[in-house]
Amino acid sequence: MQIVANVATYAELRDALRERRLELGLTQLALDHCAGLQDGWSSKAEMTDGKRWGEMSLNAALGALGLKLLLVADDGSLPAVTRANLYSSKHKQAATRPLVTLPPIALTMLEATIPAPAAEPTPETALALLEAA
């Protein structure tokens, strides 16, 4: 396994999927066929103002491109107000609830309790966590 992209926004995810498709030498139509999507879907999803990848289409495209998502918690990059709320006793119960409820799609998710690192996490660290799971 290798880390092929670091994305934080929808636009970065869209671009990373396009780059992976090109890396594999697939046309947009070939990706549509491999993923079981309607002809032209990935073409529209790759456009800046086009369709957006949804639960089913994203899952299908990830599978066809041989990709998995890895979510890495980086508490050090949270805004101060969020960190204050996260660690306050008043909001301790709320902090144990997930911040986002993800749809039940076939993604690999790792959950680890790691103190905030002194330095920026490296791709090697994320890969080591993924391989350990």
90-103 residue pLDDT tens: 545 554 555 555 44
pLDDT category at 86 given cuts 50, 70, 90 is low
Q: Look at phi and psi of residue 112 and say left if phi exceeds 0, alpha if psi is from -120 to 50, else beta.
A: beta
SS3 102: coil
Better-predicted residue by pLDDT, 57 or 119: 57
d(CA 75, CA 16): 24
Higher local confidence (pLDDT), 73 or 8:
8
The larger pLDDT score, comparing residue 4 to residue 123, is at 4
Number of H helices, E strands in the chain: 7, 0
* Mean pLDDT value across residues 39-64: 89
Model pLDDT, residue 122: 65
What are the residue boundaries of the structural domains of the chain, listed by start? 10-64, 75-132
Does the pTM surpass 0.85? The reply is no
